[in-house]
Structure 1
């Protein structure tokens, strides 16, 4: 176990004997998982392996068919929604904004769990929204309608709303979708800064294994609804794992910038003959 893994704090968010299904189709069956507190955890795996389904259950968007998700030792189902929303923020895949809502109004909705009937808006709310929009480079879009934005701009606005919620745990389902490579790096760097500077626990589903290995403290590799391996990327990302999980022949070498595992795919078909 690496020094990073040893430094991880006990889990506040976990699941026990978790079975998840859509109607009669079981996607995850009897899974146990602990999300290390104060760390960046990334879930990877092939399409339809259950990684986004697991994240939805961790964020209480999907009710378990069996088993439970626990927050600080209590089942999510037993915790009031507003209480959860003050501790746990979730950005799902392809969220839908109300028609004609402006960017500033959408980001401001992240503050709803912190408001009360006797105090609808505060200086703390204003600071949180302003900081979230600054961090996601969306401040210049404040008065524009979300409907008018590009896919990448909308994704950054949704991330800003999640940041404005100011939760200790932040769940992000494919947060780099629609983003060009520059903004992908900005978003993942932001996740690291939130973790290092604010102590936020971040859980993200990513498709790019190299980005996952570069940014994660704790990596969870899934296949067919089960966890194949988990731990520090330097401990678990190997050519054997890539072959087992993704069916891809590869070579794993140290990233020349970070030293994290870098997966290099086998030669393309035109170079194999």
Structure 2
């Protein structure tokens, strides 16, 4: 059974309808990446999956039950969220911030324990921030802060992790650092990851399951990137002429935009749609 799924959602944000009839299944144990053009509803879908946004219609199911009908603490023990932008309380240290991830496990009858201490320490070790435990979060670099926030989410000890644009505002080295960490967490076999990304090549490199959304909040394709990503799909969804070749490092699909002159000819009506070049690298696309 798929633990997390969305069925026939209608999603609105700031009084505008973002998506209608949107259905997505998150395969258990996958590293699912949601990608699509700006304003297509990627982050809105993630908010609905995280119970931060109530659908106008349809239902998000967690473990076979509507997520909106479940207690917040019960959901927080099974599903963790790294928001798109996070602000730490002024003066808080790394150790104290990561410790806040244990909040769902606290109650009147269960206070801070040796188990909580061990989980926090392990979360900081896995994310490479153990040596920063006494540092103030505001003093850290962008990459370090992102690792600290991820450590806090890990401290929740949830089997499902939702990451909303975890590489935003990071330089390329720190982007790869964070995505490598996510890939390591997924490879450990204990987590289902769902991330919203903007970079299609990074999505293809790291995702085991890719959800491609088009404007209007519909799903254009879903599945293994090597099976679904083609030049035709990229042009249909993003309006970008390109070639799809094998990434020389990983063998995953890599999108190479057409030269400016070719794109300009297409815009002026010259050349029709025949100038794609050798794009049939992944022929079994499911569009």
**What is the TM-score normalised by the length of structure 2?**
0.87
What residue is the counterpart of 2:27 in the other structure? 36
2:47 corresponds to 1:65: no
Q: Which moved more, 1:175-184 or 1:245-254?
A: 175-184
**Partner secondary structure for residue 259 of structure 2:** coil
Query: Contact 1:155–1:177 at 8 Å: present in 2 too?
Result: no
How many residues are aligned here?
264
1:118-140 Cα distance to aligned partner (Å, 9 max, x none)? 33222221222112222222223
CA root-mean-square deviation: 1.9
Offset, 1:196:
2.2
What residue is the counterpart of 1:243 in the other structure? 235
Distance 1:199 1:233, change over 3 A: same
1:80-130 Cα distance to aligned partner (Å, 9 max, x none)? 111100000011111222222221111110111122323322222122211
Structure-1 separation of matches of 2:180 and 2:124 = 15
Offset, 1:193:
2.1
What residue is the counterpart of 1:89 in the other structure? 80
Structure-2 separation of matches of 1:115 and 1:129 = 14
Task: Give the one of 246, 258, 261 matched to 1:266.
Answer: 258
**Partner secondary structure for residue 68 of structure 2:** helix
What residue is the counterpart of 2:245 in the other structure? 253
What residue is the counterpart of 1:227 in the other structure? 219
Structure-1 separation of matches of 2:210 and 2:10 = 21
What residue is the counterpart of 2:269 in the other structure? none
What residue is the counterpart of 1:5 in the other structure? none
* Alignment gaps of 5+ in structure 2: 266-287
Distance 1:33 1:272, change over 3 A: closer
Structure-1 separation of matches of 2:171 and 2:121 = 24
Rg comparison, structure with higher value: 2
2:205 corresponds to 1:214: yes
Structure-2 separation of matches of 1:179 and 1:95 = 14
* Alignment gaps of 5+ in structure 1: 1-9
Structure-1 separation of matches of 2:10 and 2:98 = 33
2:146 corresponds to 1:140: no
Distance 1:203 1:271, change over 3 A: closer
**Partner secondary structure for residue 19 of structure 1:** strand
2:66 corresponds to 1:75: yes
Query: Contact 2:242–2:257 at 8 Å: present in 1 too?
Result: yes
Structure-1 separation of matches of 2:264 and 2:21 = 42
Q: Which moved more, 1:96-105 or 1:178-187?
A: 178-187
